Amino acid sequence: MLYLKKYFTEGLIQFTILLSLIGVRVDVDTYLNSQLPPLREIILGPSSAYTQTQFHNLRNTLDGYGIHPKSVDLDHFFAVRRLLNQVRSLDHLRVPSTELNAWLVHRDPETVVSAASQSSPSIALDNGGSLEDVNTSEPSTMRGAGNTSESTYSLSGEDNLGAVAPEVSQEQDNRGSVDELSKEDIDLIDILWRQDIDLGAGREVFNYSSRQKDGEGDKQNESNEEAGVREENWRNGINLQEGQGVTLVDGETGESIPEELSSLGTQTSMSLQECLRLLEATFPFGEESEFQAADTASELGGPAENAPSTSQGLSLPAPLPQPDAPLDLEQQWQDIMAIMELQEMDVNNTAENTNLNNNLNNTGTDTIESGTVASFAGSQSSLINQDVSLHQASLPSCSQELPSLFNSELDNSAGQQPTLLRLSSSNSSNINSTFGVTNITGLLLPPLNNTNNLTTPSVLPDPFVSLLEESMLDEISLLDLAMEEGFSQAQASQLEDELDSDSGLSLDSGHSPASPSNSETSCSSAASSSSTSATFSEEGAVGYSTDSEVATAETEEGAVGGYQPEYSKLCRMSYQDPSHFHNFPQLDSINHNHTYNLPLASSYPEQPQLFGSCSKKCRDKHLQQTKVHPPREFIDKQMSRDERRARAMKIPFSNEKIVNLPVEEFNELLSKHHLSEAQLSLIRDIRRRGKNKMAAQNCRKRKLDTIINLEQGVQDLRRDKARLLKEKMECLRCLKQMKQKVQMLYQEVFSQLRDEEGRPYSASEYCLQYTADGSVLVTPRSMTLEQSRKPDKKPKDKKK
């Protein structure tokens, strides 16, 4: 039985730790590595009882200064601090900003003849030389919903400076679209641009020509005049860069054939770079696997693809694909259970949801300027910044269709889903590494003729934001609870006093750090300061004492042979307030009589009343009487062994004094009396056992608290895990939407391509292919296969 007992005690602790480990192991680090405290902190934080050395280090920390190093309250303190850090981190949630950059497809400036009548246009599908990437990664909070599209569009216009400038200048002279850029717009551009820099966007992402020309120093204090000059530069087409064209690759020779794409007029600017960016963003871990993963998710998700989510917000989580370590069945089931558990736990926050939705709607109504497929800017309310800017892709047909598309769909997706994806566009090597010369047609066009998916984008009411908010609020409320229960300001200040007391044992401190011992502290300090008035806590269980009245009571008995019942324990030891544990059902069954070390006096039910109404003298008197009246056998029975021994050995002072007196006073007491060796030995044993008894009680209490804290920690981790799983599912959903958009854009571009004779390319024979340098090729499918076998072979194509 003892073995089982031990096994259970240890096993429970180990089990809770294991649960914690398992709980966070799944996906958490993959997604929000920076948001979660390290496992070590999670484990060790709330269970500081196992990190004793930290107690002593706490004095050196600002936050922990007020806590006695030996106090069990440290557990609570650690928990509170951990939770506080979590909430703080939630305040500035560090979710990678999502950026989606699209690129203008424009004609080669050299081949541009006129704006409208292009007999031999070419499509610039490049980012390498002509189009520079602009990273628009402002935090969503910095944007109002109203100006989101405006600012993003402005950036798009600015972005077009280098490569598109000639085209834009001509076209816009005709159409006057960019002429609408006022100085306010320019200022706004600069503000946003500076924000980008402040937010850590690398300089390189801004290295388009005009910026280079402006120089870094000017950027700090750029005035409106400068902005105006820059605007002038745009219109004059300064900083032209060589464009690149779409190249047609001969299917048989493999040579790149300059292709005049007649039907792509001036206005036919395609956003294949959008596709690139979208793809890069969509498949950050490798296109094939991720596509598969997304597909798998969508398939397993079943009708959730197009069907609105239920009120629960999410369908049951499908086995979540993971690029590296797919979840096993058990883990998936656990995930499901965790989400369901979270859904049960989640609290309604309809107000926040409403606000979010409003913001989303605002974003969704952003207009898109003519000829510009711009601005899927992130929602302000979204926790994640989604910057998706399709730079000046001015395709005639697209300009008609895509805006509506993006209005209806992209805004929805952009605003509603805090995604963890980072659609990085600043690193073109990503594209290279991710796609290389890979033909994305196979990925994008499996349902070549199936445009249903394109025209029926899934518009899903998004429960995720609300759920995330809820979970955040849950944690906040948890913190509040913790703060209220365990660590109020007043209590913290009280704890400072305990630092002076070496007897900072706080048995009932697990839930109320300050409650432990006003009396104890005063007693101990008083005992330390005054050697004559032995104002010390009478009983051994220091942590239980809260009765200040009793605390100041002195035991003056001390008569040789006159054993003085330890009346003071009566009130104190009965204090053990069960309400301290009302929050812990585990302890409900523990209704101990903590008067175990009460002497005989406490055994009489009438004593408390008498003592409560008696003065000290009165009590002494009464004790003198009770000492006589109770049956001797009863008294003997109630006394502890040591007390009996002490009485038998005629120890001239009480066991309380023996146990609780400070060393100096204790030795002084011993020196005052002439005691035999046996008496001295007994006294030392009594003191040792008494101290050890208290220590044992504290130790057991600490064990319980540790277990309780671990349980709480496991619950917290489970909730975090469920929340993260929800986020992951939302990301997958967003991924799927993005994929659909990319597919749609691809088809849009491809359908606009014409050969020399003005005929459209056959999708079954040709496909668009991206090369390492960012250009896009129209390649026969047979070539694609070959190239995929020879990835090093670079097609010599004509860029447009």
Partner DNA sequence: AAAGCATGTCATTCT
Partner DNA sequence: GCAGAATGACATGCT
What is the contact mask toward DNA in residues 505 to 534, using x (rule: CB under 7 A)? x-----------------------------
Q: Which is nearer to DNA, 25 or 644 (CB)?
A: 644
The answer to whether the CB of 20 falls within 8 A of the CB of 325 is no
Question: What count of other Cβ atoms lies within 10 Å of the Cβ of residue 737?
Answer: 26
* DSSP secondary structure letter of residue 141: G
Ramachandran bin of 228, using left for φ above 0, alpha for ψ from -120 to 50, beta for the remaining angles: alpha
In angstroms, give the least distance from the CB of 575 to DNA.
13
Q: Which is nearer to DNA, 76 or 799 (CB)?
A: 76
Gap between the Cα atoms of 539 and 656, Å rounded: 6
* DSSP secondary structure letter of residue 758: S
Out of 685, 711, 715, 751, the only residue in the binding site for DNA (CB under 7 A) is 685
The answer to whether the CB of 263 falls within 8 A of the CB of 758 is yes
Verify binding: residue 671, DNA, rule CB under 7 A.
no
For the chain, the farthest-separated pair of C-alpha atoms sits apart, in whole angstroms, at: 124
Verify binding: residue 52, DNA, rule CB under 7 A.
yes
Tokens of 265: 């007029």
Verify binding: residue 590, DNA, rule CB under 7 A.
yes
In angstroms, give the least distance from the CB of 79 to DNA.
17
Q: Which is nearer to DNA, 333 or 596 (CB)?
A: 596
Verify binding: residue 334, DNA, rule CB under 7 A.
no
Residues in the chain: 800
Size of the site for DNA (CB under 7 A): 44
Closest listed residue to residue 626, CA positions, set 564, 579, 682? 564
Gap between the Cα atoms of 795 and 457, Å rounded: 35
Gap between the Cα atoms of 271 and 752, Å rounded: 11
Out of 559, 618, 696, 785, the only residue in the binding site for DNA (CB under 7 A) is 696
Verify binding: residue 703, DNA, rule CB under 7 A.
yes
The answer to whether the CB of 548 falls within 8 A of the CB of 670 is no
Give start and end residues of each alpha helix (H) in 382-445: 396-405, 411-416, 428-434, 441-444
In angstroms, give the least distance from the CB of 545 to DNA.
14
Question: What count of other Cβ atoms lies within 10 Å of the Cβ of residue 305?
Answer: 18
Q: Which is nearer to DNA, 689 or 800 (CB)?
A: 689
What is the contact mask toward DNA in residues 22 to 51, using x (rule: CB under 7 A)? ---------------------------xx-
Directed axis angle between helix 272-282 and helix 287-301, to 10°? Answer: 70
Q: Which is nearer to DNA, 71 or 775 (CB)?
A: 71
Q: Which of positions 596-625 make contact with DNA (CB under 7 A)?
A: 596-597
Q: Which is nearer to DNA, 645 or 781 (CB)?
A: 645
Which of these ranges, 316-324, 475-483, 696-704, 726-734, lies near DNA under the rule CB under 7 A? Answer: 696-704
**In sequence order, what are the residues at sequence separation of 6 or more whose Cβ sits closer than 8 angstroms to the Cβ of residue 648?**
none
Verify binding: residue 692, DNA, rule CB under 7 A.
yes
Tokens 């196992």, located at residue? 50
The residue type at 72: V
Tokens of 167: 């085209």
Out of 76, 143, 594, 736, the only residue in the binding site for DNA (CB under 7 A) is 594
Q: Which is nearer to DNA, 347 or 699 (CB)?
A: 699
In angstroms, give the least distance from the CB of 548 to DNA.
20
Out of 82, 572, 619, 702, the only residue in the binding site for DNA (CB under 7 A) is 702
**In sequence order, what are the residues at sequence separation of 6 or more whose Cβ sits closer than 8 angstroms to the Cβ of residue 205?**
133, 134, 135, 196, 425, 426
Helix (H, G, I), strand (E, B) or coil at 324: coil
In angstroms, give the least distance from the CB of 383 to DNA.
41
Verify binding: residue 5, DNA, rule CB under 7 A.
yes
In angstroms, give the least distance from the CB of 8 to DNA.
8
Helix (H, G, I), strand (E, B) or coil at 694: helix
What is the contact mask toward DNA in residues 759 to 798, using x (rule: CB under 7 A)? ----------------------------------------
Out of 213, 627, 691, 781, the only residue in the binding site for DNA (CB under 7 A) is 691
Verify binding: residue 681, DNA, rule CB under 7 A.
no
Cα 13 from chain centre: 26
Verify binding: residue 589, DNA, rule CB under 7 A.
yes
What is the contact mask toward DNA in residues 625 to 654, using x (rule: CB under 7 A)? ---------------xxx------------
Gap between the Cα atoms of 124 and 204, Å rounded: 22
Q: Which is nearer to DNA, 503 or 709 (CB)?
A: 503
**What distances in angstroms separate CA 83 from CA 86, 482, 492, one per listed residue?**
5, 9, 17
Q: Which of positions 63-92 make contact with DNA (CB under 7 A)?
A: 70
The residue type at 22: I
Residues that bind DNA (CB under 7 A): 1-2, 4-6, 49-50, 52-53, 56, 70, 502-503, 505, 589-590, 592-594, 596-597, 640-642, 662-663, 666, 685, 687-700, 702-703
